Amino acid sequence: MKRPTIADIARQAGVSKGAVSYALNGQPGVSASTRARIVAIAEEIGWRPNSAARALNGARADTVGLALSRPARFLGVEPFFMELISGIESELSARSYALMLQVVPDHDEEMAVYHRWWGEGRIDGAILVDLHFADPRVPVMETLGMPVVVLGHPAEAGSLLPVWSDDGLAIREAVAYLTALGHRRVARVGGLPRLAHTLLRDRAFGAVCAELGLSDPITVHTDYTGEEGARATRRLLSMSPRPTALIYDNDIMAVAGMSVAQEMRLDVPADLSIVAWDDSPLSQVVRPPLTALSRDIAAYGAQAARRLLALIGGEEVTPYEDKPSRLTPRASTAPPPAP
Amino acid sequence: MKRPTIADIARQAGVSKGAVSYALNGQPGVSASTRARIVAIAEEIGWRPNSAARALNGARADTVGLALSRPARFLGVEPFFMELISGIESELSARSYALMLQVVPDHDEEMAVYHRWWGEGRIDGAILVDLHFADPRVPVMETLGMPVVVLGHPAEAGSLLPVWSDDGLAIREAVAYLTALGHRRVARVGGLPRLAHTLLRDRAFGAVCAELGLSDPITVHTDYTGEEGARATRRLLSMSPRPTALIYDNDIMAVAGMSVAQEMRLDVPADLSIVAWDDSPLSQVVRPPLTALSRDIAAYGAQAARRLLALIGGEEVTPYEDKPSRLTPRASTAPPPAP
DNA sequence: CATCACGACTGAACCGGATAAGTACCGTGA
DNA sequence: TCACGGTACTTATCCGGTTCAGTCGTGATG
């Protein structure tokens, strides 16, 4: 019950292994009739090229790697990742590329996994996510010499190819909008503070609040889960004077936060305005629907995948700046209550 | 800048390729001192075994395949999949197995992908999801001779290893609970009708309604998205007399449905009770929190992965029946309005 | 008619490891 | 002192493809 090999085909067709290889790969060097005969035999006995043997000759693995340093259970919790992966997949599957996925506990393990996959010839490239400031993974990946796309700011990407969007503009838009509505006390529920984009958002938030003359802007950091979003909201709403508007770094926390507000007998949007970053179906489905900073995460992932494939193909590739999230006003924002 | 091979190590150490191979694999046949020297050199020049070369000698790929016949963008929409994948991942990553993921348009393509991966020696086994009745994929997988775990009812799994749970019991519990509250008109918003588990739920729903003497039970089928869930809800709530309770096949639709009810000026739970299947953080976060049929999807995925790994390891493996979803009553269910 | 070009194919090396079979060397016991 | 057994290797072969350098026969050309 062994798998058929080109040697089997060669024997049946009465030609050499080399001829079979040429025939099956569309290379010149075999007559049309012989080629047809070989192809027919291959078809009949159900032959498939052994990728290991191919890879041994330096072929592509037709696979892209994604190792995530997050607890495995967070995968299902964070809509961002799922959307990102589905966007990456949509691009990869169109080109018959597969995605190698592994969840690892930390950065060291992540590097070890990439090192192994690359060293073993299992992947042709990788996508680096959750970029930190002075991320130690960047120099490691650089020395590997593997094609890598980084989701994050170019300043932190080293010589790797960055794919990013300017979160500063988005947060500026959100704060300006809230200010125009009359809000003076705006607070932010941010994500993991060690991630570069969290800090970039923090800074931009601080800057725009200062510009617009808002009272000291507060940012609370969380791990993106609903639970921490709820806890952060409770803390912020217990302050005095309490903020009249909250901006959340993802929609899960925004929904959880709104729930807390309602539990505290605050009306959204009459007593409290809420803005969510990332606009999933969830944001539109809750009552009231959430004003959101929308972006097409799947398209973002698809762009990253497309650039990685180009990089793997040896093309010249330029950094890609996605358009910033745009504000989609819905019913969760309104002028603040009269003082 | 070539990758180092055992030949390089052999040259540096002044021994043969064979000796290096023995040394690095912990095989007897080399002295402790030579082994130490070889290992040190391997370490120093950053050698990694080329998996292609290893695979050529019949080694494991340490990878499990998952091809999904769904539009790629649905991945991010359906929390079930993300949770399932995160559960599978948690088990795989503990054993340093990777997951090969590819989204494909249809079953033919799915089979082609598995055929290729298996034929090419890229995966050691696979997990089959979204089982249909008389699923054509089952016989195909059987002839492949690859270790496969099927998420679905044993009756439909053929000789493949089933991992399943009894949805009938769960729906029975939900309907009994609603009946005890006083509901007589209960409708169901189900998933894709071609999936085996949808039909099993349909049947169980019909059976239990008949037993409890409820008026003709209606089931509407959808594609699991919030949009279709909303549309189905609109249709059901426009009927006369209108149902007093709705059971949804996932939480996304339940939330969307509740939103529709509120839009139609119906109070949940005073005018309409809502039960969701699958209990994500989402269910707890909306107002009112949803009564749900909870199950631990991640644990389910982990079980499937564990059995698959055992199967790959050549162990005797028995089918696994997960415990049924249990009803978690929350504020979205109450006695029906007085007639 | 000798030469040449070309198409069609063969044979063998090669990729990077695993492994069976063979060999050199050492110490040991009879 | 010599056969014996074991250790510590080496050599050669294999896995399943790809690819390069030839070989052979045919028809065209000068």
Handedness of CA A56, A58, A64, A67 (dihedral sign): positive
> Distance of CA A324 to CAs A3, A122, A207, A221, Å?
52, 34, 18, 22
With a cut of 70, which residues of chain B have pLDDT below it? 1-2, 72-73, 76-77
pLDDT of A320: 95
Min Cα–Cα distance to chain A from B119, Å = 6
Inter-chain contact A89–B77, Cβ cutoff 8 Å? Answer: no
Min Cα–Cα distance to chain B from A29, Å = 26
Inter-chain contact A93–B74, Cβ cutoff 8 Å? Answer: no
Q: What nucleotides of chain C have any atom within 7 angstroms of a protein Cβ? A: 7-21
pLDDT of B54: 85
Inter-chain contact B72–A82, Cβ cutoff 8 Å? Answer: no
Min Cα–Cα distance to chain A from B16, Å = 21
Report the 10 Å Cβ neighbour count for A159: 9
Closest CA to A174 of A213, A130, A199, A204: A204
Min Cα–Cα distance to chain B from A216, Å = 30
- Residue in chain A closest to B92 (alpha carbons) equals A102
State whether the beta carbon of B18 lies below 7 angstroms from any atom of strand D.
yes
Report the 10 Å Cβ neighbour count for A134: 9
B235-283 pLDDT, tens digit each: 999 999 999 999 999 988 998 899 899 889 999 999 999 999 998 877 8
The pTM assigned to this predicted structure is 0.86
Give distance CA B20 / C1' D1 (Å). Answer: 37
> Distance of CA B60 to CAs A124, B137, B309, Å?
20, 24, 12
**Contact status, residue B68 vs residue B77, Cβ threshold 8 Å:** no
Inter-chain contact A51–B56, Cβ cutoff 8 Å? Answer: no
Inter-chain contact A121–B145, Cβ cutoff 8 Å? Answer: no
pLDDT of B286: 80
Of A85, A121, A145, the CB nearest to B51: A121
pLDDT of A73: 64
Report the 10 Å Cβ neighbour count for B15: 17
Give distance CA A17 / C1' D21 (Å). Answer: 16
Q: What nucleotides of chain D have any atom within 7 angstroms of a protein Cβ? A: 7-12, 14-21
pLDDT of A294: 95
pLDDT of A1: 55
Mean pLDDT by 10 residues, chain A (339 residues): 84 92 90 92 88 82 89 72 88 88 89 84 91 95 91 95 95 97 96 93 96 91 91 96 96 90 93 94 82 94 96 90 95 93
Dist CA A85 CA A129 (whole Å): 11
State whether the beta carbon of A5 lies below 7 angstroms from any atom of strand D.
yes
Q: Which residues on B lie below 8 Å from A226 (Cβ)?
A: 281, 284-285
Of A3, A86, A256, the CB nearest to B72: A86
